[in-house]
A = this chain, B = another copy of it.
Amino acid sequence: MLIVQKYGGTSVGNTERIKAVAARVVKSAEEGNRVVVVVSAMSGETDKLINLANQISSNPSEREMDLLLSSGERITSALTAMAIEELGHKAMAFTGRQMGIITDNIHTRAKIEKISCERAIKALSDNYILVIAGFQGITETDDVTTLGRGGSDLSAVAIASALDADLCEIYTDVDGVYTTDPNIVPDARKLEKISFEEMIELASLGAKVLQTRSVEFAMKYEVPVVVRSSFNYNQGTLVTKEDKDMEQVVVSGVAYDKNQTKITLTGVPDRPGIAATIFKRIADAGIVVDMIVQNVSSDGKEADISFTAPKTDSKKGFKLTGEIAKELGAKGVAIRDDISKISIVGVGMRTHSGVAARMFEVLAKHGINIIMISTSEIKVSCIIDLKYTELAVRVLHEAFDLAAK
């Protein structure tokens, strides 16, 4: 098999860990696999570099920021290649450029446009284990770019796809994907497998195991991904195409996200196009809106419009919404930061009815008020009081029978 193995920051956190990773890689190679390794920066390294930049500028140039941050992964790739060679195997470290990862020129959050992997293929056929610096690429005009936080996952999946690898293993410090956060529910169960769609919902909902874009990429190019721990040899979670088995499971997991703020415009004169006006302005300001709810008053003349956004945008969002309210002649603006989003996810919802109703019923039974609701084909999300987050996770996990047996 050709396997791409990605090791995150804690997995390569110091030289002892890097040696352990090398041993793991060599074990895979000695079992007869060809191995391509993708590494993150050693844990803490990226933050250290960001801190240096912040000491110099509150608003550093993004082009220079990318050059700065790309160093972290380069260091790990060189050290990991050395560690593999120390174990008697041929290894070669590759930068993003040497791997042929070409991106657009949107610095700090570049998109991969293509991967020219001729050199990698040649090196693999010469029996080298390749160690690629994750998180980075290069523009057509030869500038270094980075792929955004968690971008090494994306590097790994994209490289697996480009090399037509049989498997992409994402090594992290947890054993796999759980039915919910084990810190809240101790008997949360590790999933043996999960569909790409469910994983995307879980990732974007705050289960930080895998970066969302990387799962979307894996789904698009059908790259089977395994999430597992680099600290033990436990079986991980396979993220793969949806299959018949999965549909039998109504709810696969319960996710929560405490990084939420809710902003409400009250008494907005209800005319056509008003929502478009509001959300165009908010989007232009770079605020990513999640849920939107609109209630029209009984006389049909006014509406209350609420939306949620990341808590980090709450000040900016509140100020901007205030300006918009004034212009539109709305009555007022209200903000709530003490909320969280609870979601249940499962492809089985497509074929099972009454799942949302059951969720509302469970929350109600425990006195948890629902502030907003949003649903999709495979998930139901509710905004609730922040203080009920853990309680809601626990009771939903129990109600949908997700615990380890």
Chain A 211-240 against B: per-residue CB contact (8 Å), 1 yes, 0 no? 000000000000000000000000000000
Q: Is there an interface contact between A97 and B15, defined as CB atoms closer than 8 Å?
A: no
Sorting the interface of chain A by its residue count into under 10, 10 to 19, 20 to 34 or 35 or more gives 35 or more
Q: Is there an interface contact between A61 and B83, defined as CB atoms closer than 8 Å?
A: no
Identify A74's interface contact among B15, B56, B67, B83, CB under 8 A: B67
Given A142-B98, A144-B95; A53-B82 close (CB under 8 Å) = yes
Is residue A29 within 8 Å, beta carbon to beta carbon, of the partner chain?
A: no
Chain A 73-103 against B: per-residue CB contact (8 Å), 1 yes, 0 no? 0110111011101100001110101100000
Is residue A292 within 8 Å, beta carbon to beta carbon, of the partner chain?
A: no
Is residue A104 within 8 Å, beta carbon to beta carbon, of the partner chain?
A: no
Q: Tell me how many chains of this kind the complex includes.
A: 2
Identify A60's interface contact among B74, B77, B82, CB under 8 A: B82
Is residue A1 within 8 Å, beta carbon to beta carbon, of the partner chain?
A: no
Query: Which chain A residues have a beta carbon within 8 Å of chain B's beta carbons?
Result: 15, 18-19, 49, 52-53, 55-57, 60-61, 63-65, 67-68, 70-71, 74-75, 77-79, 81-83, 85-86, 91-93, 95, 97-98, 119, 142-144
Give the interface SS of chain A, mostly helix, strand, loop or mixed.
Answer: helix
Residue of B nearest to A73 (CB): B71
Alpha-carbon separation in the docked complex, A55 to B144 (Å): 29
Top 10 nearest A-B pairs (CB, nearest first) are: A68-B78, A15-B55, A71-B71, A67-B78, A60-B82, A64-B78, A57-B86, A64-B81, A57-B82, A56-B83
Given A18-B56, A56-B19, A71-B74; A82-B64 close (CB under 8 Å) = yes
> Which residues of the other chain, B, contact A64 by a CB distance below 8 angstroms?
78-79, 81-82, 85, 91-93
Alpha-carbon separation in the docked complex, A57 to B108 (Å): 33
Identify A61's interface contact among B18, B49, B81, CB under 8 A: B81
Given A56-B15, A97-B142; A75-B71 close (CB under 8 Å) = yes
Residue of B nearest to A58 (CB): B86
Beyond known contacts A60-B85, A71-B71: 16 more, CB 8 A cutoff? A15-B52, A15-B56, A53-B82, A56-B83, A57-B82, A57-B83, A57-B86, A61-B81, A63-B92, A64-B78, A64-B82, A65-B82, A67-B74, A67-B77, A67-B95, A68-B75
> Which residues of the other chain, B, contact A67 by a CB distance below 8 angstroms?
74, 77-78, 93, 95
Given A15-B52, A142-B98; A57-B85 close (CB under 8 Å) = yes
Q: Is there an interface contact between B95 and A79, defined as CB atoms closer than 8 Å?
A: no
> Which residues of the other chain, B, contact A85 by a CB distance below 8 angstroms?
57, 60-61, 64
